[in-house]
Amino acid sequence: MPEEPIRLAVIVGSVREGRFGPTVAEWFAGRARRHGSLDVDVVDLAETPLPMALPRFGAAPDAEASRALGVLTPRLARADAFAVVTPEYNHSFPASLKNAIDWHNRQWHAKPVGFISYGGISGGLRAVEQLRLVFAELHAVTVRDTVSFHGAWKHFDEEGAPTSPQSCDGAAAILLDQLTWWARTLREGRTARPYTT
């Protein structure tokens, strides 16, 4: 009997006008779809805007937030694994990404998170290192290997395809292997024994 596919949410973390994130996310999502046994959902935070002001602790969100959460939250809850596509802003990650993370909690628990970063000389790796701390607090497991694009704009052509696919395709395959292993293992664990915090 074939295994149930792993549900992978590819999260586009930047909402900035003129952003490069969708190019990177669509490339990675394409690699994920070809990897096998993955059901891929591209979650673009620009299409699911959440208010920056969170409600008082324990209070219900207002109508605007409830509408946005009604779209975003089920997609995160459904996912077995996450691939976060992030740029680096001022040595860190975008506020839009942190906001989406902070609006949620249980949706991240006992699930793996991988990172695809892009930027200038650092390739977004400083953003990734900070995100590892954030996701650890949310009981998520971050996988070691990443995909990183240094000077990302030079690595993709006008159609959004990598100009030198061998290295980035190889890095994506490693990340997807790790995400798939962790997603299966953690899903089996959650099924056998509910995760508690």
* pLDDT tens-place string over residues 90-131: 999 999 999 999 999 999 999 999 999 999 999 999 999 999
Alpha-carbon span 53 to 51, nearest angstrom: 5
Alpha carbon 172 to chain centroid, angstroms: 13
**Measured CA distances, 8 to 42, 48, 178 (Å):** 8, 18, 12
pLDDT, position 2: 65
Per the CB < 8 A criterion, the answer to whether 19 and 89 are in contact is: no
Alpha-carbon span 152 to 87, nearest angstrom: 10
Q: What are the helix and strand counts (H, E) for the chain?
A: 5, 6
- 116 pairs with which residues across the strands? 85, 147
Q: Indicate the pTM of the whole model.
A: 0.96
**Token code pair at residue 27:** 């490339």
Residue type, 5: P
Q: Look at residue 53 and give its three-state secondary structure.
A: coil
- pLDDT tens-digit readout, 34-92: 998 899 999 999 998 899 999 998 899 999 999 999 999 999 999 999 999 999 999 99
Q: Look at residue 137 and give its three-state secondary structure.
A: helix
Q: Which residues of 132-148 are buried (b: 16+ CB within 10 A; e: fewer)?
A: eebbeebebbbbeebbb
> 21 falls in which pLDDT band (50, 70, 90)?
very high
- C-alpha closest to that of 104 among 129, 84, 128: 84
Alpha-carbon span 108 to 171, nearest angstrom: 24
Backbone angle region of 122, left / alpha / beta, with phi > 0 → left and psi within -120 to 50 → alpha: alpha
